[in-house]
A and B are shown apart, each in its own frame.
Chain A
Amino acid sequence: MGIKNFVHFEFQSLPENVSFARACVGAFASQLDCTLDDIEEIKLVVSEAVSNSIIHGYDNKPNQKIELTVTIHEDHSLEMIIKDYGKGIEDVEKAMEATYSSDPSRMGLGFTFMKSFTDEMDILSKPGDGTSVRLKRSFLKEHDALS
């Protein structure tokens, strides 16, 4: 399936950039035939993934790099890859469990939200090397599927 459009950008691991990242992806995703609710859900997913990179990947260190690639495919799907070069996740399965958090003061809802609002989620992580989260959501409408 071909690519219709993509953006790729990188930014510093600062909390200020979480809202920047989700606003950018929200604006880009609006090229798809989707509702405002869909956009809000996409923004939430980006917020969770970028927050995870800052908080867990980089332990809140501000001078690190996060890369974000967003692709609109010809099949009306939106794919997002959020990549950091932080400490990585020891046990990906465990990290994805609802309400698990490596930090007891946090709720561990990030991956639950990411999973709830996307159709596909893959996590590639290697301790010491970083984490890449790929999220994909289809916006294929019924009439598109039939035509």
Chain B
Amino acid sequence: MDIELKMIRNTLIIRLKGEFDMLQAEKIRRQIDDKLQEEQVHNLIFNLEKVSFVDSSGLGVIIGRYKKMKEKDGSMYIVGAQPVVEKILSLSGINKLVPLFKNEQQITKI
């Protein structure tokens, strides 16, 4: 799985590509948490456009980062979830806590 981390002002965009399972979860979690520690992040965007699979290990990373952002009064968004991924997000209930958008442009318009 590929990860791209991009800071734009106080927004951290995480672009993931591939299958997000237990093999990737720990590595991805560490990279995001390092960045959250280094930078002043107020908004976190998970771009899942190119994620073809997610299970509870991957989801755990996403939900865990939501809790972190909430603790520091930040915001989190998920963009581009494919139907197969969106179904899993819904089942976990995270979609009730984190707004889902089609793409990054939709958020920047807010």
Contact = CB atoms under 8 A, between A and B. Distances in A.
Interface of A: 15-16, 18-19, 22, 37, 40, 43-44, 47-48, 51, 54-55, 105-107, 109-110, 112-113, 116
Interface string B52-95: 01011101100110000000000000000001100010011000
B49 interface: no
Nearest to A109: B56
B104 interface: no
A29 B20 CA distance: 21
A54 B56 contact: no
Describe A's contact surface by its main secondary structure.
helix
A48 B56 contact: yes
Interface residues of B, number: 17
Nearest to A108: B56
Nearest to B82: A40
Nearest to A39: B84
A54 B21 CA distance: 13
Contact of B22 (A37, A55, A109): A55
Given A18-B22, A19-B19, A106-B60, A51 B55 contact: yes
Given A15-B23, A18-B22, A113-B55, 7 more contacts: A16-B23, A18-B21, A19-B21, A48-B55, A106-B60, A107-B92, A109-B91
Contact of A47 (B55, B60, B91, B92): B55
